[in-house]
Amino acid sequence: MRGLTVLAYAKLNLTLRVVGRRADGYHELQSLVTAVDLADRITLAPAEHGITLDAPPELGPPEANLAFRAARALLLGEGPGVRITLRKGIPAGAGLGGGSSDAAAVLAGLNDLFALGKPLHELQTIGAGLGADVPFFLGPSPAWVEGVGDRITPLDVPLPAAFLILVPPFRCPTPDVYRAFDELGLPLSPPGPPPAGVAIANDLWPAAVQLFPELLDVQSALARVSPGGAGMTGSGSALFAPFPSGEEAEVGRRRVRPDVEGDLFIASPTQSGYRIAG
């Protein structure tokens, strides 16, 4: 049986509202999310039995990796085995959803590779047990994502042709940002319908800046080169700026490069959170 390669795309939270706090400590969100073509590359090869993962060692032990856990959750230790090779293109720990995207790509890829016939809603249910962002990556993009990532509505909204993404040389730990949000007593946003277009806003921004004030300088530098301003994805630390074309994003990258530290990427919206590449 042939193997399969799947591209696992990154995501950007164009709008992120914190609309509630749950008794279990999680926060209720509303977010306009798009996938973009900054990607990890995952190869799935049939094996006689068991699951193995070849991934960069800095990601930690294979058994804790979401790609490994996704395969285990779908295959349930029965039937065929799989060898997973993961090559990172999405910076880890920056709010770009790389781990969740990897899990979704493995679920979708194995469903195709072994002709399992699992419908989307079943894959999303399995994904929800792995991480809040996983169900989004399995469906169409962009989407309006609510709750703890469990309510997803595909949207038809106009998006910029390209985004300039800056990943600073530091990370914003997600639990720390949400804890700072609560400790600052920041107000909850009222729940509401999705915006008609791209409205860059993130309720977690004040909390992230409280922890990492240098984000202000990064945002200002990006906003100076983008006609649409600049925002933060997820709980950070990655920031992004929209552009009407990839060429204009490249001009923005050259202009901002002397003023910032970190990695700069240009990415375009995609229609799904993953793509089976062959």
SS3 labels along 30-62 = EEEEEEEEEEEEEEEEEECCCEEEECCHHHCCH
CA-based end-to-end distance of the chain: 13
Helix (H, G, I), strand (E, B) or coil at 103: helix
Spatial separation of the C-alpha atoms in residues 56 and 46, rounded to whole Å? 21
133 is a catalytic site residue: yes
Q: How far apart are CA 245 and CA 128, in angstroms?
A: 34
Instruction: Respond yes or no: is residue 88 known to be catalytic.
Output: no
| Residues β-bridged to residue 83 | 45, 52
| Integer Cα distance of 40 and 86 in angstroms | 7
What burial class does residue 156 get, using C-beta atoms within 10 Å of its C-beta: 0-12 exposed, 13-18 middle, 19+ buried?
Answer: exposed
> Nearest CA to 108 among 2, 1, 8?
8
The single-letter DSSP state of residue 269 is B
| Neighbour tally for 58: CB within 10 Å | 7
The single residue of 40, 102, 133, 203 carrying the catalytic annotation is 133
Q: Of the listed 11, 40, 102, 203, which one is catalytic?
A: 11
Q: Which residues are catalytic?
A: 11, 133
